[in-house]
Amino acid sequence: MKWKNLIVGLTLIFLITGCTKKETENVKEIKSVSTQKVERKTVKNILTYTGLVHPWEEAALVAQMASRVRKIYVKEGDYVQKGQLLVQMDDQQLTQIEIQFNDTKRDLEWAEKLKSEGAISDQQYEKIKLAYETTKTNYEKILENTQLRAPFSGVITAKYLNDGELFMMTPAGGRAVPSIVHLMNLSLLKIKIAVNESDSYKIRIGQKARIFSEFLPDEVFQGRVSRINPVVDPVTKTVDVEIQVSNKENKIRANSFVKVEIDMGETKEITIPTAAILTDQVSGKKYVYVYQNGIAKKRIIVTGKQINDETVIQNGLKENEEIIVEGQYNLTDNEPVKIFKGL
């Protein structure tokens, strides 16, 4: 009998202990989180793009017809002034036409004198004048073709022929166009950037821009927007914008890449810690958890640009709402939570 009572007692103890343990397991632990109020902050709006540097002006100097190079007066790296003689081509034709030009010039001067004395008819005078003007045009054309002068001040960046070589009207040596020497104005530069369509409506001619080169880490160059293409590229959906920048010290090199920042002023924006933002693995949408009366509410948001360790929120949150900034991982929508300030 004693043994039976003992067995019954042990069975009851086991049942009571087992039930208590199962009830304890069924009680779900409430997770602790830290929260932060949503605020509007002053944000500097800066558009950042990568641009390609171009010379302000450039010209491939060529003769108007195939002929031999008599003398090239410059070499690569030379700075030249506008109007300076750079190349002298063969001038055999020039000598002949120059004699004709001088003859017709003397004829015209004599005809003007005779006309003033009434010793020549208007018809004869006009004939002599036409001959002079025709010869003058031909002379100037050949002169321009034989003496290549700088159309603007700049630097000789390439020399493709030597004295005595024959210039042909077809490109050679990997050049896109036929050329004897190449001239660039590098004292001013234009930086071309491809701006997305939405940003193009915010940019205005004359807006200030900052230019940075990774090879000149301690330098910041000041420029301004000089041109905005009025047409959107149908393929890339971007708009070409040009930035003008002074380069008097020749620190920026043409054909290099630079970073361009256009200052768009300051605005008040809702920003939250970037670490508080989660991504839905199915939809790819961004979301946060909003704390409401002890419950974590999942909220889809639309994010803007990132500034240091914070992100601008374009839609989905309001000022003074409380978001979960720590402990948000592994939460589910409408899950009870408790605030633990020391987390």
Q: Average the pLDDT over 66-72 and give the result.
A: 86
The rounded percent of the chain whose pLDDT value lies above 70 is: 87
Name the more confident of 256 and 105: 256
197-225 pLDDT per residue, tens: 989 999 999 999 999 999 999 999 999 99
Residue 194: which of 45, 51, 56, 46 has the closest Cα?
Answer: 51
Q: Are 186 and 247 in contact (CB under 8 A)?
A: yes
Q: Average the pLDDT over 134-138 and give the result.
A: 82
The whole-angstrom separation of Cα 301 and Cα 297 is: 12
Q: Are 35 and 261 in contact (CB under 8 A)?
A: no
**One-letter amino acid for residue 47 of the chain:** L
Confidence of residue 65 (pLDDT cuts 50, 70, 90): confident
Q: Average the pLDDT over 173-199 and give the result.
A: 88
The rounded percent of the chain whose pLDDT value lies above 90 is: 55
pTM metric for this prediction: 0.64
Poorest-confidence range of 135-144, 185-194, 314-323, 327-336? 135-144
What is the average pLDDT value for the chain, to the nearest integer? 86
The DSSP code sequence of 110-130 is HHHHHHHTT-S-HHHHHHHHH
